[in-house]
Structure 1
Amino acid sequence: MLDGMHEHDKIAQRLGMLLTRLYSGEKLHLSDLATEYNVTVRTLQRDFNQRLSYLPIEHRNQQYWLDPGFLNHKNDGKVRKLAEQLGITDLFPHASEHRLGQLLDRGNPSLFAIKGFDVQSTDSLSHQLPVLEQALTQHLQCWLITKDQRKQLFSPYQLVNYKGTWHLVGVSEGRLQAYPLSSIALVELSQQTFTRDALIQRQIDTDPTLWRSGMIEVLLKASASIAINFQHRPLLPEQEIVKTLDDGALLLSSRVLDANQILPVIKSWMPELTVISPGFIHEQIVRDLRHLLTLMSQAPP
C-alpha cells in the first residue's frame, strides 16, 4: 500500500492509519501490523511508544489499544479541534461533532471518505523541526539563513501549512512575514527572547494577504486535450482560468511562493502544459530535462 512513497510520507501515512484504527476502538496486534504495513515489529513499537506517546495507549502481549475511558470522551471537542487543524471542517455543510466523528468510526460503514489531500513533501519541515519547536515554545529569536544566503533575525510565532506548503510565520524588522520552509537553508537559535503580541497572532489567523506577499504569478497554457482537467477542479496553486482560447486550450494563472510548489505539477502534464511566464521557471524545467537526458544517456543499456 505504501510502496513508492518517501520514508517520511510512509511514516505519516502509517501513523494516520494507526490513529484512525485506535480511535475506532480496535485492538492492534504487532505481528499483524508488521505484515500489513511491511515494517518490523521494532518500528511499530517505536510508533506506539514514541511517536504516539501523547495518547493513553495500553498494551499487553503485543496488542495495543486506546484507554476505553479516553475513547468515551473522544467527542468532547477533540475531533472538531483536529478537523479544524487539518482544515477539513469546510468540507461538510454544518459540520457537527457527530458527522466529523463518523470519519473515525470503523464500527459501521462510513458515509464519508476523504482522499487525495494536496500535501507536499515535508523534508523542509523534518530537517528544521527540532530547532523550530524550541524557538516557538521558548519564545526565542532565531537567525534565518535563506538559500540565497540572506540572514536575518526573526521572532517566530507559528508554523503554518498553507495549501500544502509549510511556512514559518513571525516578525522581522517590525514586519510580519511568512517564509516557506523550502526557502530556509538553516535556522540558528539566539539566546534573546521576545514577547508575543496577541494582535500579531490575530493577524496571522485572519489576514489572507499575508500569504500573497512575495508571491510569483505564473502564466501557463493547457492544451485542449487536457483543458477539462483544469476546468473540473484547480490543479495548480491559486489557479485561475484567464481565458478559453478558440481551439479549446486554456490560459491559466497560478500564484506560488516558491517555484518548487508548481514545478512538479507542470512536469506531470508536459508537454500539454507549458509555461508562458516567468522565464526563469521555463528555464528551470529545461535544465531539469537536460539533466534527466544526461542521466538516461549514461545509464547502462
Structure 2
Amino acid sequence: MKSTTQLAQRISLILVELNKGKRIDVNELADEFNVSIRTIQRDIKERLNFLPWDELGPRFYRLDRQKLDILTEEDIQRFALFASVSNLFPEIDKVFYQEKLTQSVQVKGVQYENISHLKEQFNELQLAIQQNKLISFKYKK
C-alpha cells in the first residue's frame, strides 16, 4: 500500500474518532497502524493543527466539541486525501487549501441568503477563474 494511502487512512480514522467526541490515545493508534508514536503526534500537530483542541497531548487528544461543528464523512475524506498529498504542493497552495478545508468544516450561520438559484452563474464563474479570465461584478443585497 502506498504511503500516501496509509497516511490518508490514518488521518481519516483519527478524524472520525475525534468527530465522535472520543479521546484518542497516540499509543493505541501507533500500535494499530504499526507506526511510531512520533508519527501519530506529527499527524496531529502538523496536519490537524487547525482543529480546536480541548486536550492536546502528549499522549491523549480530544477536540473541543463546543467550537467545532460535526464533520461530514466527505469533509473527513477530503481532508485526509489532501493531507496525504500536501507535500506535493508548493507552500502557497498548501496555505490556500488548508484555509479552504478549514472553512468547509466551520459552522455556517443560518442567516445566509439562499443562492442555490444562482448555481449556473457560479459554475460559469468557476470556469472563468480556472481559465484565468478577468472577472468583474456588482453585488447588491
Question: Is this a same-fold pair by TM over 0.5?
Answer: yes
Q: If each structure's strand is expressed as a fraction of its own residues, which one has the higher value?
A: 1
- Cα displacement string for residues 178-211 of structure 1 (whole angstroms, at most 9, x for unaligned residues): xxxxxxxxxxxxxxxxx6x368xxxxxxxxxxxx
Task: Report the TM-score, using the length of structure 2 for normalisation.
Answer: 0.56
Distance 1:8 1:134, change over 3 A: closer
- Partner in structure 1 of residue 67 of structure 2: 70
Using the alignment, how far apart are the partners of 2:14 and 2:35 within structure 1?
A: 13
Deviant stretches of 4+, over 4 Å: 134-137
| Residue 102 (structure 1) aligns with | none
Aligned length: 103
* Cα shift readout 1:239-264 (whole Å, capped 9, x = no counterpart): xxxxxxxxxxxxxxxxxxxxxxxxxx
Q: Flag the 1:46–1:171 CA change in 2: closer, same or farther, 3 A.
A: same
Query: Separation in 2 of the partners of 1:67 and 1:18?
Result: 15
Please, which of 130, 137, 140 is the counterpart of residue 170 of structure 1?
A: 130
Name the structure where helix makes up a greater proportion of residues.
2
For 2:27, the equivalent position in structure 1 comes to 31
Classify 1:80/1:14 alpha carbon distance in 2 versus 1 (closer, same or farther; 3 Å): closer
DSSP 3-state at the match of 1:65: strand
Tell me how far 1:29 sits from its aligned partner: 1.1
Report the structure number with the largest CA radius of gyration: 1
* Percent of paired sites with the same residue: 28
1:235-246 alignment, distance < 5 Å: none
Counterparts of 1:31-180 in structure 2 under 5 Å? 31-57=27-53, 58-60=55-57, 62-70=59-67, 74-75=69-70, 79=72, 82=75, 126-127=87-88, 129-131=89-91, 133=93, 170-171=130-131
Shift in CA distance, 39/82, structure 1 to aligned 2, threshold 3 Å: same
What's the offset of the Cα at 1:59?
2.5
Distance, in Å, in 2 between the alignment partners of 1:38 and 1:49 is: 19
- For structure 1, which runs of at least 5 residues remain unmatched after alignment? 87-118, 138-156, 159-168, 175-194, 200-301
Residues 32, 21 of structure 1: alpha-carbon distance in 2 compared, 3 angstrom cutoff? same
Quote the Cα distance in structure 2 between the aligned partners of 1:17 and 1:198.
42
Amino acid at match of 2:43: D
Letter in 1 for 2:75: L
CA shift, 1:79, in A, is 3.7
How many Å separate the matches in 2 of 1:43 and 1:135? 22
Q: 1:130 to 1:63 in 2, by over 3 A?
A: same
C-alpha separation in 2, matches of 1:32 and 1:81: 25
Return 5+ residue gaps in structure 2 as ranges. Answer: 98-124
Change beyond 3 A, Cα 1:131–1:170 = farther
Task: Quote how far apart the aligned CAs of 1:15 are.
Answer: 0.2
Q: Does 1:10 align with 2:29?
A: no
- Aligned-partner Cα distance in 1 for 2:95–2:24: 36
1:135 to 1:10, Cα distance in 2 relative to 1, 3 A: closer
Matching residue's letter, 2:16: T
CA distance in 2, matches of 1:36, 1:63: 15
Task: Give the equivalent residue in structure 2 for 1:19.
Answer: 15
Structure with larger RCO (C-alpha < 8 A, sep 6+) = 2
Partner SS state of residue 21, structure 2: coil
